[in-house]
Structure 1
Amino acid sequence: MAGIALNGLSSGLDTGTMVSQLMALERQGRTKLEFRQANAQARTDNLADVSSKLNTLKFRAQDFKLASLWNPQQTVEVSDATKISATRTGGAGTGATSIEVIGLASSSQRTFSFTSPAADETWTFGTANVNITAGMTLDETVLAINGQPDTGVIAVNAGGKLVVSSTTTGAGSTFAWSGAALTQDSEKIGTDAQYKVDGGAVQTSSTNTISTAVPGVDITLKAITSSPVSVNVSAPTADRAKIVEKIKGFIEAYNSVVDTVKTLTGDKKVTDPSTTAEARKGSLYADGGLRQLQSSLRSAISSAVDGLTNGDLDQLGEIGITTGAASSTINQDSLAGKLVFDETKFNAAFAANPTDVRKLLGGVSGTNGIAQRFEGLIDPITQTGGVLSNRRTETDSELRRIKDSIERFDDRLTFKETRLRKQFEVMEQMLARQNSIGGALSSALAGLPSS
């Protein structure tokens, strides 16, 4: 009777692989729980993102309430900034002033031939003394002059020449000097600036900055003019440029919310995900709460503000904030409700009636403008105990339940794997004993005489 040949383990089977394969089948249920967990986590993450963007939108709307944004200020503009510049230093008369620049103020300047002194010397510029040591180079001499305080001059090395200039300008900027090793080659006398105001008599200034031409405005002369340059001082009003900046920040924040909600509600769920990334998709697809939010935002933008006296400025569209102009082509941003800003239209509305613009945006205390409207809309949604906060709390509870389920599942998997390995171990032991008995029987049979 031929013996039975067994390979490897007593059973001839790769029981380790068999256990792993059986457990892989069992773990499919755990994978489904993990995908549920990923989708729930995506939901709470996305709700947090929406909440954050809504709060940013609220803060941008609240900027319209800042008193500092609406404080009356004057602006100063010049018709040719290459010729003069102007800076307001205080209250200034409203209107335009013409400036003609005939000449610019310059400083006195002396040029010296330089010879390194053979002995220590003291040089004088104005009333200040500078110690020059024997053997000093020109560059070292320049450093010594410029390092001495209160000389009223500045020195440079100009092609091997020592050039010393007054630190002030004007005809009175000349300075005395002395130094045994100094030899003056040339002198340039400082000049006063010359200018006319509104075509009047020529006036002079020792500097290129004048404050008397337009009281409350410092004017800096930069170049000689061939025709008068206008300096225009506006009437006191809120800084339009700052208001425009705040409007653009509000629109950017609003469009960010619109983009986020559109993306989340349009992201379809993967029916049979195979990766965590796929499982996270569609966590808020066609979400009713977010669609209601979309509707509320559009209403807040498009509906009129109550309580304003001027009916022409009771809607954002009247100051250039709309979802886009009508067009024969489909505009996806417009369909999504994203805002655009017509700055030209805003400027015209602001110039005509700045007070009503302020009321519309919510910058007047006691007015229920855009700032107050968006506060009232967003606070109940994002604050603790609000709509999104409660939804995130619910999702967090779901995540805890899934986590508990995964832990219990892991416990069952551990128990089952231990049981399977024990069963295979018992089987191997039984087969080993059977193989041992079979081997002994075969040996005994082989020893019997053949018939």
Structure 2
Amino acid sequence: MALTATGIGSGLDISNIVSVLVDAEKTPKETLFTATETKINAKVSAIGTLKSALSTFQDAAEKLQSGEFLNIRTVSTGNSDFFTATADQYSQPGSYSIMVEQLAQSQKLAGINVSDPTSGVGEGSLDFSVNGESFSVAISSTDKLSAIATKINNASDNSGVIATVIKSDAGSRLVFTSKETGTENQITLSATDSTGTGLSDMFNGANLESLQDAKDSIIYVDGQKLTSPGNTIDDAITGVTLSLTKADLGSTSTLTVAQDTDSVKKNIQSFVSSYNALLTSMDTLSSFDVDKGTASALQGDSIIRSLESQLRKTVSERVSVDGVESALYELGITTDSDGKLSIDDTKLSDAVSNNMSLVEGVFSTSDTGLAYQFDDLVESYTKSGGIIDSRNNTYTSQTSRLTDQREAFTLKMEQLEARLLKQFNAMDLIVSQLNTQSSSLTSSLASLPGVVRE
């Protein structure tokens, strides 16, 4: 390129002139690009905020799909040392007298002690049977006690035996413990020798010592005896799980199961609060500030209008509970003029305390309960490939097109700048040539005879 700075011929600041001309063409368009990009980014952010509010509301609605969070129980054991307890929605409020006579325990068998646990004890196999299931482990003559224990524990068909090497003053020995408690999980062990009698001498007959007998747990519920193979008992009282910790037939504890109305109300209040927070978020995202004359990112957006309409329709739906059409207002939950929910605490407390089946039915009736309906509605917006994903794909496409337009416009401006520089430099060259010719002509005229110089 020729001249790109101050014109030698014309004396003009060509670079500045070209810059001003290019900027006059470029600035309005770049301002438009920036405004469009800002608008798209604002919409992306607003959609993200909407999705977050929807997810929070969905979490609150999903809790009410299950009796686990609606028909909640409190459990008291009177600080008993003998057991702990939990109760699900199927348990019935009431008090129960509990006595623990015996805890369940696992059987422990041990082979004879040896002075050197690193020496082999024999060659053959150890055959185990637990609760009707058998497995065998091949033992080589070089296997030390720890190697035998590892083979047993790692056996793919191990039916419930844990092998451990225990060291004492008497020496080291293999101890076999049943993985499960109870008499039905007793261990049967026999040793078979391929050579010699090493395994039989260690593990057969009188050489196999019982360190701990297998026992079932024994409890009494309101005087009724129940024997169980484990210390966790979930079939003594419907909906109640007892975890036994100590036994003493001479001590009686009282288990009390009661309706947890406060927790149920808290979960329903959380649902109402999340619903109202969602409406507030939608209103903020689609509002118009009259004083400032500014609109929020989703003002007038169809996604807000459609969602608001569906939410208001769902909240007024009636659900069939035991053949009777019921709705939220029967639980003390009503809508105000803005579509938000409010709770009549007295009415809700009465429903939770005296008509829990109605509360469960309105929210958690399979498929038709309001908790399910709201969950399905929100899922249609937030799921992968859902309405919000589709909208984000639209914004991504718009951003991509804007980027392409920016790149094309930048190239166009570069070409304009190059063309203007070329034109101005060509003009400057012509002016320079004219100036040179003018100077030469002036000089020639001045040298003619008779020319008077001042």
Provide TM-score, normalisation by structure 2.
0.57
Show the counterpart of 2:296. Answer: 284
What aligned pairs does 1:25-424 form with structure 2 within 5 A after superposition? 25-38=24-37, 40-41=39-40, 45=44, 77=75, 79=77, 83-84=82-83, 95-106=94-105, 107-110=107-110, 112-114=112-114, 115=116, 116-117=118-119, 120-122=122-124, 124=126, 130-148=137-155, 149=157, 153-159=161-167, 161-167=172-178, 168-170=180-182, 173=186, 175=188, 179-180=199-200, 182=202, 187-193=210-216, 195-198=218-221, 200=223, 204-210=227-233, 213-214=236-237, 219-224=242-247, 227-230=251-254, 248=270, 251-252=273-274, 254-259=276-281, 261-262=283-284, 265=287, 282-284=294-296, 315=329, 318=332, 349-357=351-359, 420-421=420-421, 423-424=423-424
Task: Tell me by how many angstroms 1:216 deviates.
Answer: 7.6
Q: Percent identity?
A: 20
RMSD: 6.7
Say if 1:202 and 1:108 are closer, same or farther in 2 by CA, change over 3 A.
Answer: farther
Q: Which has the higher strand share?
A: 2
Distance 1:375 1:145 in 2: 51
Question: 1:205–1:185: structure 2 CA closer, same or farther, 3 Å change rule?
Answer: same
How has the CA–CA distance of structure 1 residues 185 and 105 changed in structure 2, closer, same or farther, with 3 Å as cutoff?
Answer: same
SS of residue matched to 1:134: coil
Distance in 2 separating the partners of 1:69 and 1:51:
29
Q: Distance in 1 between matches of 2:263 and 2:71?
A: 12
* Partner SS, residue 10 of structure 1: coil
Amino acid at match of 2:247: I
C-alpha separation in 1, matches of 2:430 and 2:340: 75
The answer to whether the 8 Å contact 2:43/2:297 transfers is no
1:254 and 1:339 in contact (8 A); partners too: yes
1-structure distance, mates of 2:64, 2:235 = 37
Contact 2:57/2:278 (CA < 8 Å) preserved in 1? no
Give, as a single letter, the amino acid of the residue that structure 2 aligns with 1:182. Answer: M
Q: Structure 1 406/171 Cα, relative in aligned 2: closer, same or farther at 3 Å? A: closer
- 1:44–1:100 distance in 2 versus 1, CA, 3 Å: same
Question: Do the aligned partners of residues 242 and 90 (structure 1) sit closer, same or farther apart at CA in structure 2, a change above 3 Å counting?
Answer: closer
* 2:435 aligned counterpart, secondary structure: helix
Q: Which amino acid aligns with 1:318?
A: G
How many Å apart are 1:258 and its aligned residue? 1.2
Deviation at 1:50, TM superposition (A): 7.8
In 1, Cα distance between equivalents of 2:72 and 2:229: 28
Please give the alpha-carbon distance, in whole angstroms, between the structure 2 residues aligned to 1:92 and 1:289: 49
1:27 match: secondary structure: helix
Q: Deviations over 1:46-84 (max 9, x none)?
A: 775687678769978986997x77999897956369854
Q: CA deviation at 1:224?
A: 3.3
Structure 1 residue 139: Cα displacement? 1.5
Q: Residue 440 of structure 2 aligns with which residue?
A: 440
Q: Distance in 1 between matches of 2:6 and 2:371?
A: 83
Taking structure 1 as the reference length, the TM-score comes to: 0.58
The answer to whether the 8 Å contact 2:6/2:14 transfers is no
Asked if structure 2 preserves the Cα contact closer than 8 Å seen for 1:300 and 1:374, the reply is: no
In structure 2, runs of 5+ residues without a counterpart are 130-134, 192-198, 381-389
**Quick check: 2:64–2:70 contact (8 Å CA) kept in 1?**
no
State the SS of the aligned residue for 1:140: helix
Q: 1:59 to 1:101 in 2, by over 3 A?
A: closer
Structure 1 match to 2:17: 18
**Aligned partners of 1:102 and 1:270: how far apart in 2?**
78
Q: Deviations over 1:145-178 (max 9, x none)?
A: 3345467632112347334234154468365555
**Cα distance, 1:414 vs structure 2:** 8.4
Q: Distance in 2 between matches of 1:13 and 1:227?
A: 109
Report if the CA contact (8 A) 1:85-1:220 is conserved: yes
* Cα 1:262/1:221, change in 2 over 3 Å: same
Rounded to whole Å, the distance in 2 between the matches of 1:443 and 1:143 is 114
Instruction: Give the structure 2 partner of residue 3 of structure 1.
Output: none
Q: Could you report, residue by residue, the CA deviation over 1:387-432 in whole angstroms, capped at 9, with x for unpaired residues? A: xx9xxx9x9xx99xx99x9999999978976775465244313212
My pick for the range that moved more, 212-221 or 186-195, is 212-221
Gaps of 5+ in 1: 1-5, 272-281, 324-335, 380-388
Q: For residue 353 of structure 1, what is the amino acid of its counterpart?
A: N
- In structure 2, relative to structure 1, the CA distance for the partners of 1:258 and 1:83 (3 Å cut) is farther
